[in-house]
Copies of this chain bind each other. A is one copy, B any other.
Amino acid sequence: MAMLVNQLGANLTVRVVGAPHDLPALSDFEVVELPVPEPAEGEVLFRSIYMGLEPSMRRRMPTPVASPGPSGGRVEIGDVMPVGQLPLSDPIFAGHVGEVIASRHPDFAPGDFVKGGTSWRTYHAEPGRLLLKLDPRQTPLRQEMGVLGQSPFVAYCGMETIGQPKPGETVVVSAAAGAVGSVAGQLARIAGARVVGVASGAKARYVVDELGFDACIDRTAEAIGPALDRECPDGIDLYFDNVGGEIQRAAYDRLNNFGRLVVCGMVSEYNAPEPDHGPPLRPLLRKRLRIEGFVVWDHAALYPEFRRRMKAWMGEGRMVYRDDLIDGLASAPAALIALLGGKNVGKMVVQVGEDPT
């Protein structure tokens, strides 16, 4: 085993070295060459082919602020990731699809393809029990990081467990062209709701023309409040929030009785050292509103049904998904910065190595 590992050369790795105040810069990251890890008993060594990027990675970067109290300040890694379930070796965690190089787990052999979560690097030694074996004859590997990856699953969990859109309801989705929002809106359409997206610039047109939302507000072109009034004349029953900030507040103010605010992400606030105020809770009483957050790991049991249903909807043409392929692990920091700036359409996937399928 040691000889094999030596033949592989260096393990390209991206590490976080800065604790940015707001939007991270390239200087907050460094690209280094580390040794390829030796798999321990029960572990599998794999080479990454695709790695997914998520805005929530920003939340896992260290922040320069001392904690003012239990709700603010530095995010502890153990708080975000259930330690022990998915081990971390550096602060930025990502989903990978890769090819097995060596295995000390009975279920995996060299040449198998696997999916698992670990950090930003090329070679990974991970416990086999945390990996999913893939069949590229059934599903292209790139789709495993895309439409069957974490972001669409986040959208699915938020809609299934909290949002629960009903026929005829009005659903608003922010960051509607993004990896999560694009799926959240299509799921609400499948459930029979009228879906209004919020996106920036040309992406608003893509959301209507390609994703099939009923309408989409270009937030760079007009004020959000009057635009929501126009596009949601019957109020809002469900706001699926990926951004926080002023869109959250405007949508909350327009929630109908029994309205739900699903807090899926708050990307507008991830770069701020202190959390913003929330919306006033007084209308919650009279309107019987619910505001709820969730973490996708809690709903892992839904993953098999998610895969089955997503494949069926794709086959019926009811689910459209786009990814942006980024070339090379060294480009991941720039891609994450672009993602946090709202520059992407669909899922950002980093091609870490050659896809042999």
Measured CB to CB, the residues of A under 8 A from B are 59, 69-72, 75, 79-80, 225, 244, 248, 252-254, 263-266, 269, 275-295, 298
Contacts and interface: CB of A to CB of B under 8 A. Distances in A.
B282 A288 contact: no
Given A263-B281, A280-B277, A286-B75, A254 B295 contact: no
B281 A266 contact: yes
Given A253-B71, A290-B290, A282 B295 contact: no
A288 B293 contact: yes
Nearest to A80: B286
Given A79-B286, A279-B281, 4 more contacts: A71-B280, A263-B281, A275-B282, A287-B293
Contacts of A248: 281
Given A277-B280, A281-B244, A293 B286 contact: yes
Nearest to A270: B282
Q: Which interface residue of A264, A265, A294 has the most chain B CB atoms within 10 A? A: A294
A348 to B, nearest CB: 20
Contacts of A288: 292-295, 298
Contacts of A277: 277-280
Contacts of A70: 253-254
A69 B253 CA distance: 8
A290 B292 contact: yes
